[in-house]
Structure 1
Amino acid sequence: MSNVSLAALPPAVWQPLRDDHARRADALVAGHLERRRRREPHPVEDFLFTYYPTRPKQLRFWHPGPGVQLAEAPEYEGKRGYRVIDGVASIDPAEIVRRSESIAWIRELLASTAARQPQFGCFGLHEWAMVYRQNADQVRHNAWPLRLGSGGTDQVVESHRIGCSHFDAFRFFTEPAQPLNVLQPRRETQPLLEQGGCLHANMDLYKWASKLIPFTPGDLLLDCFELARDIRELDMRASPYDLQPLGYDPIPIETPAGKAGYATAQRTFATRAHPLRHRLTALCETLLP
């Protein structure tokens, strides 16, 4: 880790930053918490709280990032990854050492993904492959109908080239769909295959930001969350499900117009993801020797 040493920020400086972060996080998770109280599942937004491990309470807690010291900060006492000496809180160097192998793996993945040419021709077919040859009771979001029915969905899968490069999407393909993918991603090949045009690779910036807590500055964590939220909407609008009752107009990727719209949105998200991936990579490099 860099030997940057800064004077401890006084409460008058850091507490407003903490409070602004909490308000922003509260606004982002309010809908989810309200639905959770009503026990009302949501096939689009729940993904951010079920697939990804960070809970709303964790999202709300502000982390200043490495190299920042907070004066009069007893709330960080006993918080994992911190040490508090004479009331001054800062990242515990021992936590960085303990997690150095994980940090290095994340850095390698982020850097190799950024170096690879983005691809924009997958058209979201991973979601279709996840329900290929399943009946209505078997599909993951079976409370919502398939736009083209089971037969029409299978026909879309069979009539397209599927080139999913993301392991954590591919592993949810149905068994009959897996051989149809031109790539066969594995966990150990993840750094060799992920590329910056992939929706799931860009959503996963939130996963890596979360895994790097408490090192991840709060604004970077929430920026990654917002990106993941927006990408998830595109992901499901382009999926085989009919989610119009929830206000999501479909992107019919089985048509030329739908493909063009999907690829355009995919490029926009890749552009948004690029500086976030760079910031996360720089964070890892700051932490490592």
Structure 2
Amino acid sequence: MSHVEVLEEATWRARSAAHVERLAPYVGPHLARRRAGEKHPVHDFLFSYYSQRPAQLLRWHPGFGVRLLDAPEYADLKGYADGTVSEAHVVSQRPVLEVIHRLLVATASRPAHTGCFGLHEWAMVYRADQTRHPQPLRLGASGTDAVVESHRVACSHFDAFRFFTDEARPRNTLSPGRDDRPAFEQPGCLHAGMDLYKHAFRLSPMVPSELVAECFELAWDIRELDMRAAPYDLAGFGYEPVRIETPQGKQQYAAAQRHFAERGAPLRARLVAACERLLAV
């Protein structure tokens, strides 16, 4: 390792505490709901859909190239040796780094497409006997189906497309697959924005946890829009719908997509830079 930044115990413990304080407002209520056996259709998503556990999210890492002094609690953590993320661990992660880097670069190379209007959630319940969430459909089953049938469905994200009903899948103008994500992902996609969090935590502990936290906060805000534009009635949870079936709702949704694409661009660039730095090890 050519250069290693050394952090005194007081310094790194302060950063670790700040990280926990930053994320506690998100993690704490989720854990409380889990203990009570309650579910939230919007806020539980980042903890249930993605594989990172709350305790892992709260664990602070300085990233590769930083050594923590007097940090015995890091001694047994995966990837660490002598208070720092080891070069051997970074080298062992090269296949993951290459996959993430390829996808992020391909996504960043495309303009943001804002014409999908969140119809992926509608396609997931199109002509379905059972919905993915227990909340009622805002327009009812027939009204929801009519929205899908009267629109061009153009979902580029495989992990949304794979949940389409059998009847909805042929209506999609694209056919994204599990192994060809770099050919389809684009920065205007809400799920591509949320997935920046997934890419960030998959790079842990090689990247600073502050970057993971920023990606998590972006994903949190995107998730709210994703569900406000969905066909479900979430008024009981305090959410005003984005009525994408109307011209005004379409404009509102597209504007929010552009905002999140702009907010996600620098995070994607930082992840790309991190991958390139780590691939050079």
For Structure 1 versus Structure 2, the TM-score category normalised by the shorter chain is over 0.9
Deviation at 1:6, TM superposition (A): 2.7
What stretches of structure 2 of length at least 5 have no aligned partner? none
Matches within 5 A, 1:150-161: 150-161=141-152
Question: What residue number does 2:173 align with?
Answer: 182
How many Å separate the matches in 2 of 1:4 and 1:199? 38
- Equivalent pairs: percent with the same residue? 56
Task: Give CA-to-partner distance per residue, 1:140-172, whole Å, 9 cap, x none.
Answer: 10x210011000000000110011000100000
SS of the aligned residue for 1:201 comes to helix
SS of the aligned residue for 2:81 comes to strand
Question: What residue number does 2:249 align with?
Answer: 258
CA contact (8 A) 2:97 2:275 kept: yes
Is 1:238 matched up with 2:229?
A: yes
Report the CA distance shift for 1:7/1:220 in structure 2 as closer, same or farther (over 3 A). closer
Deviation at 1:81, TM superposition (A): 0.8
Larger mean Cα displacement after TM superposition, 42-51 or 4-13: 4-13
Question: What residue number does 1:36 align with?
Answer: 34
Q: Which letter does structure 2 place at the counterpart of 1:144?
A: Q
Deviation at 1:93, TM superposition (A): 1.2
SS of the aligned residue for 2:4 comes to coil
Report the CA distance shift for 1:7/1:150 in structure 2 as closer, same or farther (over 3 A). closer
Number of aligned residue pairs: give it: 280
Question: What residue number does 1:140 align with?
Answer: 132
Task: Give CA-to-partner distance per residue, 1:251-275, whole Å, 9 cap, x none.
Answer: 1100000000000111110111001
Question: What residue number does 2:53 align with?
Answer: 55
Match of 1:282 among 264, 273, 277: 273
How many Å separate the matches in 2 of 1:31 and 1:266? 27
Is 1:214 matched up with 2:212?
A: no
CA contact (8 A) 2:5 2:65 kept: no
CA contact (8 A) 2:194 2:219 kept: yes
CA contact (8 A) 2:64 2:86 kept: no
Deviation at 1:4, TM superposition (A): 4.0
How many Å separate the matches in 1 of 2:90 and 2:246? 49
How many Å separate the matches in 2 of 1:38 and 1:10? 40
TM-score w.r.t. length of structure 2: 0.98
Q: Which letter does structure 1 place at the counterpart of 2:85?
A: I
Match of 1:271 among 262, 266, 274: 262
What stretches of structure 1 of length at least 5 have no aligned partner? none
Is 1:16 matched up with 2:14?
A: yes
